[in-house]
């Protein structure tokens, strides 16, 4: 099993419209939301290749529930570190010519008590199941002590 660890997950929202008009009201023709963040994308790719990954990360609010539901729909098991802040949303705007504009939310600051719990599930699964842990983008909003403790 490969464990994909996320310190800054997201819900990726993709909208399609004829043309993006800055400073104006834009009506979208299609909206699609999916679990996001680097480690979720890796877990999705692994699942598509027939692997059985496990995702570990922070999730909070309605968007956190949407993220977890998206992973579950793809048959990706998850271990969640609950947080009070809502999980961020990244917006991808695609016009009919294929031009893509991305608007990426910063991850909100975590409470240190939530951050400290994240190593427990990783250690638990690593020790008992011989897993490989992948750690991707670490949010700049994490305390320096946490970022420093995750260096390989």
Pick the CATH number of 2-149 from 2.40.100.10, 3.30.2130.10, 3.40.1190.20, 3.90.1580.10: 3.40.1190.20
What is each CA distance from 108 to 21, 84, 87, 111, in whole angstroms? 29, 10, 8, 10
pLDDT of residue 82: 85
Q: Tokens 């991305």 identify what position?
A: 102
Residue ranges covered by each domain of the chain: 2-149
Q: At what angle do helices 61-73 and 38-48 cross, to 10 degrees?
A: 20
Q: What is the mean pLDDT of each run of 10 residues along the chain (152 residues)?
A: 86 97 95 94 94 90 96 95 89 96 82 53 52 54 54 46
The dihedral built from the CA positions of residue 73, 79, 83 and 87, taken in this order, carries a sign that is: negative
pLDDT of residue 152: 45
CA triple 39-42-47, angle to 5 deg: 125
Tell me the three state secondary structure of residue 131: coil
pLDDT of residue 7: 81
């Amino acid at each position: 099993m490969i464990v994909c660890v996320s310190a800054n997950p997201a819900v990726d929202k993709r909208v399609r419209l004829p043309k993006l008009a800055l400073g104006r009201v834009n009506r979208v023709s299609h909206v699609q939301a999916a679990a996001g963040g680097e480690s979720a994308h890796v877990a999705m790719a692994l699942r598509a290749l027939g692997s059985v990954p496990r995702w570990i990360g922070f999730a909070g609010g309605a968007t956190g529930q949407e993220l977890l539901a998206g992973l579950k729909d793809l048959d990706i098991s998850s271990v969640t570190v609950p947080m009070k802040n809502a999980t961020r949303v990244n917006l991808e705007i695609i016009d009919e010519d294929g031009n893509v504009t991305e608007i990426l939310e910063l991850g909100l600051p975590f409470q240190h008590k939530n951050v400290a719990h994240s190593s427990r599930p990783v250690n638990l699964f690593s020790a008992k199941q011989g897993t490989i842990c992948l750690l991707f983008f670490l949010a700049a909003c994490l305390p320096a002590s946490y970022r420093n403790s995750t260096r390989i």
